Amino acid sequence: MHIYKKKRFWAGILLAQFLLFFLFSKSKTIISFFEKFFEFQKGFHQVIFSWIPFSFGDVLYILLGVFSLYFILKCFKKKSRNNALLKLLLIINLFYFSYQISWGMLYFQTPIIKKLKNQEKPNIEKAKRLAVIYLEKCKATRKLVSEDKNGIFVVHDLKNVQEEILLQQQKLPLYISDKNTTEINSIKPSLFGYVMNFTGILGYYNPFTAEAQYNSKLPSSFTPFTLAHESSHQLGFAREQEANFVGYLVGIHSENLDLRYSTEYFTLKSLLRFIVEEDPAFVKSVIRNYSIGMKKDRLYEKSFMLRHQGWLDDFFGFTNNLFLQSNQQDGSITYSYFIDLLLNYEQ
């Protein structure tokens, strides 16, 4: 019997991959190679998949899930167990290898914080001053955007927002990003939008097709910044809080009012989350000073989240936290790195 038809062979290959990519993550030269490879495969994939009107990456995930479930079920049958386990191990090996070469190694790029001149720890007083500034920015921009019949912020032209994001990416400071920008729009609504409502996931990047997916069911106050965040992943920023920061740089100076308001509002909320444990009275004071429109947006966001809370939200929050920590990130609960980048940049 050929050795590649044995389960322990593929189990050994998987273990060898874990070790190999761990060693790769320690080499700046190899990480630099993977950064260049990412640029190549991203451009290639966007040419192939961007013209498709739906998320082709989601279709691939569905097929992968169906095949995996099929072989898992076959494992419960004695006659087909060995063959099913062998195929499952083969799928896992191929998936893990493809993921690491196309995306996983980018988590070990030089952190953005090391590219900034100032590298001070987040300071509550500085965060408070910035929160007041962004409160006023939000109030001013909120007056200029569109509302629905209930007075809640609404985005009418998402295509325009997407095109503006790609344009603003070309204006990022070179000391922060020297990555290849593109004019190819490959930002698409997820096919799993309804399920995503119950998971707390706003969007995600598919490294196998270079598509950025977002939940089209979100309140409009979330959506433009979510597009900027996911498009930052497309640009090559793997860490979540760095994608937030690049999304912030993209949106904060934008002439597109929908994108700018969503970015300012996200920044204000992030600052308040950072401050609240130290000074909850200050946070309550800021929220009381929201404009009428901002208060309506906040209430709508809260009602949306309350309507969709459940065990899926807890499950995906837990698994996402583990995933982030396994890739040298603080986890989904700790947002201080974004605040760290924000405060140091604003200085």
H helices within 50-123, ranges in order? Answer: 56-74, 81-102
**Residues ≥6 apart with Cβ < 8 Å to 20:** none
Q: In this predicted structure, what is the pLDDT of residue 8? A: 85
pLDDT in tens, 46-65: 999 999 999 999 999 999 99
Overall size of the chain counted in residues? 347
Whole-number Å distance between alpha carbons of 133 and 252: 13
Distances (CA, A) of 281 to 149, 264, 286, 329: 33, 22, 9, 30
Q: Which residue has the tokens 């706003």?
A: 202
pLDDT band at 310 (very low <50, low <70, confident <90, very high): low
pLDDT in tens, 223-272: 999 999 999 999 999 999 999 999 999 999 999 999 999 999 999 999 99
Angle 42-104-196 from CA coordinates, rounded to 5°:
80
Say how far residue 200 (Cα) sits from the centre of its chain. Answer: 12
DSSP 149-196: TTS-B--S-HHHHHHHHHHHHTTS-TTT--PPP-----EEE-TTHHHH
pLDDT band at 128 (very low <50, low <70, confident <90, very high): very high
- Helical pair 81-102 and 28-49, crossing angle rounded to 10 deg: 100
pTM: 0.89
Would you kindly state where each structural domain of the chain is located, as residue ranges?
3-108, 113-346
Element (H, E) at 204: strand 203-206
Q: What is the dihedral of CA 151, 157, 158, 163, to 10 degrees?
A: -140
254 in Cβ contact with 172 (< 8 Å): no
Average pLDDT, the chain: 89
